Amino acid sequence: MKPMLTVLALGMLTACQPNTSTAEKETSSELKQASSVVAKAQTESERLNQWFAVKYEEELQMSPMMLTFLGRKEKYDQVDDMTLAAEKKIFAWKKKNIAELNRQFDYKKLDNEAKISYDIWQHQYQEAVAGQAFVHNNYIFTQFNGIQAFAAQFLINFHKVDTESDMLAYNTRISGTATAIDQLLERAKENASKGVRPPRFAYQGVIEQATNLITGAPFLEGETTGPDVALWADAKRKVAALVKNKVINQAKADELQAQAKEALINRFLPSYQALITWFETDIVNTDAVAKGVSSQPNGKDFYNFKLKSSTTTDLTADEIYNTGVIEVARITEEMVKIKNRVGFEGDLQEFFTFIKTDPQFFFNNNDEGRQGYIDQTEQYLSVIEKELPNFFGVLPKAKLVVKRVEAFREQDGAAQHYFPGTPDGARPGVYYVHLSDMNSMPKNEMEGVAYHEGNPGHHMQISIAQELTSVPTFRTQAHFTAYSEGWGLYAELLAKEMGGYQDDYSDFGRLVNEIWRAIRLVVDTGLHNKGWTEAQAIAYFKEKSPISEEAIISEVRRYLVLPGQATSYKIGMLKIMALRAEAEKTLADKFDIKGFHDTILGGGAMPLSLLEVRVKNWIKKVQVQ
């Protein structure tokens, strides 16, 4: 009631002011000043949220591609500026904003949620500050996440074409993609001149992926037929849909298709040819035996920075390594129990061999088997979805679909992954699976992976974050790997409480997935801090898990090009489990699993230290209820 009374009082005083005496005017002025102070104290959080809304929109306008991810069509014909100069401009913008934030807002007057928003914004800036020392240490193109493959994926999956202007924007973006490739190639060359190159296998992967995107029509000289490259097939598909929906006529379709072809031949092809040529030429300068980033100039400090960024903790490489060793030992004991329970006669290594080779644990390595994998995954997700209301108060509105990875970027044994839908639900979230080699996709592990990537894992976590209205918009899109991947791994275990893993072999698969993440703590720090070779890392992986050799090689090579990232999963999971244990112990009978999960997911992604603050605030609130 107080804010309303304040507004009414101010309104009445303003209305009467012309007819009051001097003394009354002075009294009126004092009251207004007092009311203003009260109003400011009561609306500090609201003012801050409004400031965040303005600043985040400014940030979005600097990234046309992010606007597209969010389902918006502003700057629809543009691609992000990928130059180092553009990055420096964004950093300067962040520096200016942080000064404004500190100057304009009183932290003590903010409510708990607004304080977390303030702290997240500060954290993101401080990480950007620390990262300035390592602008030349990151790998620009790799086999795992280089734009050489993502550019096509972006246009195919995220650039929606509903109108003629959308298709015109698509065609312009083909040329924009070529510009981005050119810009990033210059950065890769500069990094190489400073002694920073990804391992040789990364070069080979980039060459292969880039070659796949320009091998086929419309790039086949002197031929009228042939396999369409991915972007050409997509362009024709999108134009055909416009004709089918009576948005354009065939004459306009022919014109749009011709424009797409011209952009592909005159802009896309030359940029990719230049990319391939440089990588083929420079590959002789790479190390035949892959090394961790500590071998780079400034590499040791760079790795420590990446660990801090990935885990959002101050844990050292040695502490993370030791945590991994302990977790691997604990999970191994759980594996032995299941081995014994199913009546297997032999040691754990023999059981690993059985799990990896017995036909009962694999789908056929053909299209029927691939569809079977997708169908079974959908069945697992359908069963667990029915249990969600018993464990969560807030449920996602966005739909979830399961898809095979596009052929041009599919890799044998590569990790499954999730891409979010749009905040408005117009585009569903997608759980992508690599199905080129079904022998690296064991049935007993698929259930846990489905829960990690789908529900109650990433799809639930990210969709709920995007649908939040109780926090500033920037928090609905914030990304902190330890939080998101920690939740994904926690979700695998939570699914057991929810009725998953009815089969002992599937529960063993859950443990395989968990030990996989514990092994990452050992292997990632081993590669980048202890000087392990790729062969040592692969050998450790084989000894401690039944994961296929193809998947192990893919994983280790991922760690080599993404230093520190893989440590975030287990560190994040352990933190969430510790917070739950603390809440259960403190609240006893008052503990509510729905309330706990809504607290974890209800603020969006954040550093683990701030997640702890949020959970403790919730505990205090429940205690006084």
Instruction: Give the mean model confidence (pLDDT) for residues 306-313.
Output: 98
Instruction: Give the mean model confidence (pLDDT) for residues 32-53.
Output: 71
**From 22-26, 198-202, 257-261, 589-593, the region with the lowest mean pLDDT:** 22-26
Extract the tokens encoding 329.
């030992």
605 neighbors 465 (Cβ within 8 angstroms): yes
Q: Rounded distance, CA 325 to CA 317, Å?
A: 12
With 0-12 CB in 10 A as exposed, 13-18 as middle and 19+ as buried, what is 213?
A: buried
User: Which of 237, 233, 240, 239 lies closest to 218, judged by CA?
Assistant: 233
pLDDT digits (tens, 9 = 90+) for 282-308: 999 998 899 999 999 999 999 999 999
Q: Inform me whether the pLDDT recorded for 14 exceeds 80.
A: no
Q: Rounded distance, CA 441 to CA 370, Å?
A: 10
Extract the tokens encoding 118.
């303030």
Q: Tell me the pTM.
A: 0.87
Q: Rounded distance, CA 141 to CA 186, Å?
A: 11
300 neighbors 525 (Cβ within 8 angstroms): no
Q: Rounded distance, CA 207 to CA 215, Å?
A: 12
pLDDT range class, residue 216, cuts 50, 70, 90: very high
Residue 160 has a pLDDT of 96
Q: Inform me whether the pLDDT recorded for 20 exceeds 50.
A: no
Residue 380 has a pLDDT of 96
Q: Inform me whether the pLDDT recorded for 131 exceeds 60.
A: yes
What DSSP assignment string belongs to 139-176? -SS-TTT-HHHHHHHHHHHT----SHHHHHHHHHHHHH
Residues near 339 by beta carbon (within 8 Å), at least 6 away in sequence: 348, 351, 508
228 three-class SS:
strand
pLDDT range class, residue 221, cuts 50, 70, 90: low
57 neighbors 63 (Cβ within 8 angstroms): no
Q: What is the mean pLDDT of the chain?
A: 91
Q: Inform me whether the pLDDT recorded for 27 exceeds 70.
A: no
179-198 core/surface letters (b: 16 or more CB in 10 A; e: else): bbbbbbbebbeebbeeebbb
* Other Cβ atoms within 10 Å of 216 Cβ, number: 16
Q: Which residues pair with 404 in a beta bridge?
A: 433
What DSSP assignment string belongs to 368-435? HHHHHHHHHHHHHHHHHHTTGGGT-SS---S-EEEEEPPGGG--TTPPPEEE---TTSSS-EEEEE--
Q: What does the angle CA 87 – CA 88 – CA 90 come to, to the nearest 5 degrees?
A: 65
Strand blocks (E) in 410-534: 417-419, 429-433
